[in-house]
Structure formats: C-alpha cells, structure tokens
Amino acid sequence: MQRQPIDKSKEPVSIRLFESDFLEFFTHISPLTILALWAPLTALLLYFAARTTPVAVILGAFFLGLFLWTLSEYTLHRFLFHYPAKSEKAQKAFFLFHGVHHRQPQDKTRLVMPFPVSIPLALVFYGLFRLALGALLQAPHWVDPLTAGFMVGYLIYDLTHYATHHFAMRRGYGKYIKRYHMAHHYKDPDTRYGVSSPLWDWVFGTAGE
C-alpha cells in the first residue's frame, strides 16, 4: 500500500471524499448502524437454520463461519485494503477505500465498514458459500448457520476496530489488541493486519517485531 501521511493530532474535521453530499453521506457510518442491520440478519439466519437443521450441525457450521471470518479479515486487510496501487487513479481509489482511515485514524464515523462496501461483500461471500456448500458439497443446510457465524465474526472485527481507536482498554486482551492495532497505524502499516486477532499474522509472518 502506498503510505499516506499519518496525522496523530486528531484532526477535528473529516476529510471530504466526494463533492456530492449524497455520496459523501455514505462514507460515514456509526457502529450502532451496523449492529442494527447485521445482528437481526444473523438472528434470522439462525432461525431459518433451526427449523430444519440439527443443533450440532448449526454449532459446527456457525463456528466454522467464525473461523473463516478471521482468515477473511486478514486477507481483505492485507491484500485488498493495502493493495499497492501503481496508477494515480488506482491510488485515489484505494485512498477512498482505506487510505483515508490511515490519514485520519481517529475519525469516529470512518471506523466501521460503510454499507456500500459491506453489503456487496456480504452478497459475494453468501454466494460463494451457497456455491461451495450447496452446489459443490451438497450441504445446503450448512449455508445459513455458517453465514451467521461469518457475520458475527465481522461484527466482532468492526466493533473491536472501533474500540481500539476510542476505548481505553487498559487490561487483558483488550489492552493487547489495542496496542497491536496502534502499532499497525503508527509503527508499520505493512504488518499486523489482524484487527480482532493476530492469529493469521502469526501464521503468515506479518506480526511485526
């Protein structure tokens, strides 16, 4: 990723990304908003699964989805959000996508994934799950609980991300993961891609020093 200058002074005004007020509106989002959308959808998926699927299968699929999210979190952050764009247009696009967060890491309304990004990604992953589990593995009853676990993993990621920037987190795992993520911002943006967990950084050797 092309490194953007990092401002540690907590700029009071968000960088404007679009001239259009309509487009600019969708670049800002509250963590409560993602809960309002994704938590009920997760509950609905589990409800659908519970009508036809044994509890043991639901639990297995749910935790598999949670595990798959941790890998997706790492992969998206490392290879998509920090893509080393070459052209000027691509650099601008990736600045809109993630670079602005590194430019203003304390901006409260740009710490969780906005709907124009999260909803298309959710549809892509759901389609992949239906293809892999429903069509290829002939296990369509796994799709809904696995997707529910994946969504819970996403919520944990986004809410953890918000917390690392705006909550004190002075003890235990919260203190550790806050320091870990702050090192990604203020020490080396090319390491520590895990936000809710350092697991895949350890696996792939990107945990930094």
- pLDDT, one tens digit per residue, over 135-156 is 889 999 999 999 999 999 999 9
Asked whether residue 141 is domain-assigned, the answer is: yes
Q: Are 125 and 72 in contact (CB under 8 A)?
A: yes
Q: Which of 37-51, 85-99, 110-124 has the highest mean pLDDT?
A: 37-51
Q: How many CB atoms lie within 10 A of CB 120?
A: 10
Asked whether residue 7 is domain-assigned, the answer is: no
Asked whether residue 72 is domain-assigned, the answer is: yes
Could you report the per-residue pLDDT of 44-56, keeping only the tens digit for each? 999 999 999 999 9
Asked whether residue 144 is domain-assigned, the answer is: yes
Residue with tokens 């639990």: 59
Closest by CA to 118, choosing from 144, 151, 85, 142, is 151
Q: Are 144 and 137 in contact (CB under 8 A)?
A: no
Asked whether residue 3 is domain-assigned, the answer is: no
- The Cα 99–Cα 79 span in angstroms is 13
Number of structural domains in the chain = 1
Asked whether residue 2 is domain-assigned, the answer is: no
Asked whether residue 90 is domain-assigned, the answer is: yes
State the residue range of the domain holding 172. Answer: 30-204
Q: Are 135 and 47 in contact (CB under 8 A)?
A: no
Indicate the pTM of the whole model. Answer: 0.89
- The Cα 17–Cα 24 span in angstroms is 6
Could you report the per-residue pLDDT of 30-84, keeping only the tens digit for each? 999 999 999 999 999 999 999 999 999 999 999 999 999 999 999 999 999 999 8
pLDDT at 1: 44
Give the H or E element holding residue 158: helix 143-166
Mean pLDDT in the chain? Answer: 91
- Please state, for a pLDDT cut of 70, what percent of the chain lies above it: 94
Asked whether residue 198 is domain-assigned, the answer is: yes
pLDDT at 12: 56
Q: How many CB atoms lie within 10 A of CB 147?
A: 25
